[in-house]
Chains A and B, each alone.
Chain A
């Protein structure tokens, strides 16, 4: 799972309505696998993301406080930043670990690169 997909997931437990996004990532194993840098899809993707959720996640994971909390259009021309963003969104794969809801403490395991978002009967 990459942070691109992480942006699509919030806690789905019934009645868990606050502090349920973004899910906190516990990383036990991750890989960075290089792929071709293409600017257009990235530029198209940025306005669709929840930037705040991405920034919180990057700050937590990489302790990278330089990652901008707010997006500004000037960043699109910052080649170094765009490559960093490409690495974060497209090339970083969480292989083992978990997604944890900070609202209700529900833990969604990640195994073999697949997050398991399935709920128990009592959570539906």
Chain B
């Protein structure tokens, strides 16, 4: 997978690998509320290559893709070498499309599972540990169903032991930064994206594409151990002073 010409080649390679994925179908007006917006192949390629650069031992990882839609990020993560992807999708039709796409693109079916589930209603059992090593997702932005973006983040924090990568409207940045702090995560905007809004609900199929500003964010869990160490050090200091 590693292109000889360096990063650029690799990025192009990922993008072309993802470029033939089908978009959501036109119409389907009843699904307006679901805020299904496909991550464009070039955006997905850029994002998954960033994840691949940050993550170690991606080949041993189980990656979650919550709200996997047409399977763009799932495919992308497998393309950059993730060991396994588990995709969660509310829309039965697109859950099946994602699985078909994965079967089409990856011979080994032990690399993925798709679950047809509403993330909002998903109550993950209290396992011994968190099953996911990393989550990479493009959740609903929360414009039609207020707060759903945060619900996705909370489920990710609940079930993932490592980094959570997620796309959110830039207008919510300050709010999410606060949320990350409350939940014990470091917050970094990895990439600002001009995200094309879907035209599938537009009756007239206007030619102009509308964009919205989106952040690709890394939520990195703060390590608890250094804090404990710090406390111990402070205790030692106290002892010395005594």
Instruction: Enumerate chain A interface residues (CB-CB to B < 8 A).
Output: 1-2, 4-5, 7-10, 12, 21-22, 33, 35-36, 38, 40-41, 44-45, 47-51, 53, 90-91, 93, 112-119, 124
Residues of chain B from 115 to 165 with CB closer than 8 A to chain A in the complex:
115-118, 121-131, 159, 161
**Which one, B14-22, B88-96, B193-201, B234-242, is touching chain A?**
B88-96
Q: Hey, which chain B residues are within 8 Å of A49, CB to CB?
A: 127-129, 131
Does B181 make an interface contact (CB < 8 A)? no
Most buried by B among A35, A44, A114: A114
Residue contact B125 to A10, C-beta cutoff 8 Å = yes
A48 touches B116 (CB 8 A): no
Instruction: Establish whether residues A114 and B131, one from each chain, have CB atoms under 8 Å apart when the complex forms.
Output: no
Contact-residue bracket for chain B: 20 to 34
> Contact: A44 with B115, CB < 8 Å?
no
> DSSP majority for the A interface?
loop
Q: A8-B125, A10-B124 are in contact. List 13 more A-B contacts (CB 8 A).
A: A4-B84, A7-B127, A10-B123, A41-B61, A44-B60, A45-B62, A47-B129, A48-B128, A48-B130, A49-B131, A90-B110, A117-B115, A118-B90
Which residue of chain B has its CB nearest to the CB of A45? B62
Q: Please state if B116 and A118 are interface contacts (CB–CB under 8 Å).
A: yes
Which of B's residues lie within 8 Å of A, judged by CB?
A: 59-62, 83-84, 86, 90, 92, 95-96, 99, 108-110, 113-118, 121-131, 159, 161
Q: How far is the CA of A14 from the CA of B116 in the complex (A)?
A: 18
Cβ-closest chain B residue relative to A35: B110
**Cα distance, A66 to B122, chains bound together (Å):** 32
Shortest CB distance A49–B (Å): 6
Q: Could you name 12 residue pairs across A and B whose Cβ atoms are closer than 8 Å?
A: A9-B125, A35-B110, A48-B131, A48-B161, A50-B127, A50-B128, A115-B116, A115-B117, A117-B117, A118-B90, A118-B118, A119-B118
